[in-house]
Structure 1
Amino acid sequence: MGRKTALRDQLLTTRGRIGLPRLGSLARSLAQVVTDIPDVRSAATVALYVSIGSEPGTGPLIDELDAAGKRILLPCLLPDNDLDWAVYDGELVRAPRGLLEPGGERLGVSAIAGADVVLVPGLAVDSQGHRMGRGGGSYDRILARVPAGTFTCALLYPWEIGVPVPVEEHDRAVGAAASAEGMQRFS
């Protein structure tokens, strides 16, 4: 088993042990941390994702951003694992692989370039912002489309920040990581 696979399994096992009440509490705290980030407060358009399972919860964050009048872009998974985007209109529909997606008009894979802030999932981020995801490459692709200078941030649990992760040539770093306990920027 490769180093990335072993680390992924370990991180997913730890996530699987988080109880539902704690998941909800961590999601609410994460929403507060993220909405307090100056880049997010000043953003007109925020791209993020709908969490599933034991991922750090984005439901409260989506609600807060929506209430603040932000334009929210959410991903729509394509058959080749790339991500199309649609504007959140308050409704989500069931999609393949147990995902929830906005049901509105698809804007295309390049729509991510118009976001002021890009919030991505991950399993861990090291001290330089190298992110490890689930291995499908979807978010490395979208991070490659984000213009330089755009605030990019992985949403994680506190114990997943600063974890040494194996880095491959196609892996894209993020500018920050946020958890229920705070946000850390990378240089």
Structure 2
Amino acid sequence: MTKNELRKEVRLRKKQYTANELKDLSLSIVRKLLELSAVKEARTIMLYCSLPDEVYTMDLIHKLKEMGKEIVLPVVISDTEMELRRYEGDNDLHTGYYNIPEPCGKRFSKTGDIDVAIIPGMGFDKKGNRMGRGKGYYDRFLNGMKHIYKIGICFPFQIFDAIPANENDIPMDIVIYQ
């Protein structure tokens, strides 16, 4: 299957679940994330505010903040680029590109300080290859940041035996899906 065919398949699979069912499925994924030594030991974590059809992350963001972690979130600034901003709390969020909650603060430019990146995807394979929504935001952003431990997260129905990958695709170090 091509990436576009796989994306279409994932969209069909997601439609079989309500938003509440997806939120419930997210609980075990978040629990496993919090048990990872890479997450426990990290000082700065790049995360994302979830869309309704993605692994729900707001509870995770709150928990990591309570643990004293510095949280940075992506902000889409154009059709091809995103930047990071520090998460200061829910009052600091506004609706940005694609109706995604984004922090309003200053740009976070110390990407060398990021220990862990928790990345969404439309699908992953067992080798850690990731398929996003097709815009390449994360692949461009993560290119050259080999020091960051990359964790892909998704629902079990988003795991495939193989996803087509090329030299521009950045693989994950681990994928958590249940």
Tell me the TM-score normalised to structure 1 length.
0.88
SS at match of 1:119: strand
For residue 163 of structure 2, what is the aligned residue in structure 1? 165
How many residues end up aligned between the 2 structures? 176
Check the 8 A contact 1:119/1:153 in 2, yes or no. yes
Q: Partner amino acid for 2:28? A: S
- Structure 1 residues 145 and 82 mapped into 2: Cα distance closer, same or farther (>3 Å)? farther
Check the 8 A contact 1:83/1:142 in 2, yes or no. yes
Which of 151, 154, 165 is the matching residue for 1:156? 154
For residue 20 of structure 2, what is the aligned residue in structure 1? 21
Q: Distance in 2 between matches of 1:88 and 1:62?
A: 9
For residue 46 of structure 2, what is the aligned residue in structure 1? 47
For residue 12 of structure 1, what is the aligned residue in structure 2? 11
Residue identity over aligned pairs, in percent, reads: 29
Deviation track 1:99-118 (CA, whole Å, cap 9, x = no partner) reads 1101111124xx43321101
**1:31 counterpart = 2:30:** yes
Displacement after TM superposition at 1:44 (Å): 0.5
Displacement after TM superposition at 1:96 (Å): 2.1
Structure 2: runs of 5+ lacking an equivalent? none
Structure 1: runs of 5+ lacking an equivalent? 182-187
Check the 8 A contact 2:80/2:137 in 1, yes or no. yes
SS at match of 1:33: helix
Q: Distance in 2 between matches of 1:112 and 1:26?
A: 31
Question: Bigger CA drift: 26-35 or 135-144?
Answer: 26-35
Q: Distance in 2 between matches of 1:35 and 1:137?
A: 27
Q: Distance in 2 between matches of 1:47 and 1:16?
A: 28
What does 1:125-164 correspond to in 2, within 5 Å? 125-148=124-147, 150-164=148-162
